[in-house]
Amino acid sequence: MAGEYRAPKSRTTLNEYWWFCLDHVREYNAGWDFSKGMSPIQIEEQIRSDTGWQRPTWPLGRLGARIDEDMLRDPMHILNAGRAARSDEARRQQANVPPSEMREPLATLGLGWPLTLEELKTRYKTLAKRHHPDANGGDLASEERLKIINLAYAALRGRLAEPRMARTG
């Protein structure tokens, strides 16, 4: 009697099947391992091959096909001018946008971006004097506010001290 349920014969011939009844196909599938007998390297190669549907893939720009700028025939340099203008505008916009992790400390201290280390120190001293508990009769709210100011100052000072992050006014 022919079974109603199919199961692959092997991993190399997935289109050839054994036919079983329901109980036997369950038993067969429980013991069947696609990766049985494969090394870890072979398993990794199989996974990589499956992600591209067993078709060859390569990183973009690796086929040796490069665009020859002379082929573009841009005697008025319109294409390069547009690219340069866009990159200049992007640089200008990026210079005025603080890094995401600096937005909260900047708001806490009431500062804008770009920021110099001198501006930061001046603002910190002003806020520290204003919210110091001794200047406010030991007020707990002022003490808590000073702690938040100290944390914001430390975060900004650490980032501005890095040469790549320092900005001039």
Tell me if the pTM is above 0.85.
Answer: no
Structure confidence by residue, pLDDT tens digits, 67-124 = 665 666 776 667 666 666 556 666 666 667 778 888 888 888 888 888 888 988 999 9
DSSP, collapsed to helix, strand or coil, labels residue 82 as helix
Contacts of 157 (CB under 8 A, 6+ apart): 117, 120
- Spatial separation of the C-alpha atoms in residues 124 and 142, rounded to whole Å: 14
Structure confidence by residue, pLDDT tens digits, 60-74 = 665 555 666 566 677
Domains and CATH numbers, the chain: 5-51 (no CATH), 100-161 (1.10.287.110)
